[in-house]
């Protein structure tokens, strides 16, 4: 995700568009490794103000995860946007949230992954209509119906039946 900015360095205040498309290497964050799926894209603009680059970017990607309800592996598609600033290392201070660049190139990958992990949802579901697992036998209810729920209904029906029978006897 390296963008050549030599032109922008000479034309202060002028926004330049960029696009990037490619595959992403797995990333580890907070002890968890995320594996990406398919192609990721990053596009937007960068502008130089004489000291700092401002980058406005839109990203799309897909990553491998599991459904929080049924536990099946799935690919979660994601789209997010971010704005970040880049300075020469000599202008960077300890407490600022700026990224650095050297020469005439911006490497957007750190900013990209930082924002990805910020935006990544805590849980994902394979489908809004995912039925999850049976709490009794653990069967994936998207694949069919186990007998646990049916048994419960049968039990209720037979209770009702015996109640009706009791009334008949009165």
Q: Which residues bind Zn ion (CB under 5 A)?
A: 67, 69-70, 126, 130, 134, 136-137, 139, 146, 148
Q: Which is nearer to Zn ion, 70 or 111 (CB)?
A: 70
> From the CB of 56, what's the least distance to Zn ion, in Å?
35
Report the residue number, 147 or 158, with the smaller CB distance to Zn ion: 147
Smallest separation (angstroms) from Zn ion to the CB of 72: 5
Residue 39: CB minimum distance to Zn ion, A: 25
Q: How far apart are the first and last CA of the chain?
A: 83
- Quote the distance between the C-alpha of residue 90 and its chain's center: 34
Q: Which is nearer to Zn ion, 34 or 148 (CB)?
A: 148
Q: Give the Å distances, CA to CA, from 41 to 24, 26, 44, 147.
A: 10, 16, 10, 46
With contact defined as beta carbons under 8 Å apart, do 38 and 25 qualify?
no
> Least distance to Zn ion from the beta carbon of 62, Å?
16
User: What does the DSSP 8-state code read for residue 122?
Assistant: S
Smallest gap, in angstroms, from Cβ of residue 149 to Zn ion?
7
Q: How far, in Å, are 43, 52, 110, 136 from residue 113 at the CA level?
A: 14, 21, 5, 40
Toward Zn ion, which CB reaches closer, 66 or 98?
Answer: 66
Q: How far apart are CA 102 and CA 88, in angstroms?
A: 6
Nearer to Zn ion, 127 or 162 (CB): 127
Phi, psi at 112, each rounded to 5°? -60, -50
Answer whether 113's CB lies under 8 Å from 27's CB. Answer: yes
């Amino acid at each position: 995700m390296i963008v050549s900015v030599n032109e922008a360095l000479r034309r202060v205040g002028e926004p330049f568009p960029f696009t990037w498309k490619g595959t992403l290497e797995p990333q580890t964050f907070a002890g968890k490794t995320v594996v990406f799926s398919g192609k990721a894209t990053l596009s937007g603009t960068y502008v130089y103000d004489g000291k700092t680059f401002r980058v406005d970017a839109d990203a799309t990607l897909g990553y491998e995860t599991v459904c929080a309800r049924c536990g099946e592996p799935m690919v979660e598609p994601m789209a997010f946007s971010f704005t970040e600033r880049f300075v020469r290392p000599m202008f960077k201070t300890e407490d600022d949230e700026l990224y650095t660049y050297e020469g005439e190139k911006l490497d957007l990958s750190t900013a990209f992954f930082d924002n990805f992990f910020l935006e990544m949802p805590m849980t994902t579901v394979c489908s809004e209509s995912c039925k999850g697992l049976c709490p009794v036998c653990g069967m994936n209810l998207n694949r069919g119906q186990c007998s646990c729920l049916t048994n419960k209904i049968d039990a209720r029906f037979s209770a009702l039946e015996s109640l009706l029978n009791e009334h008949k006897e009165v």
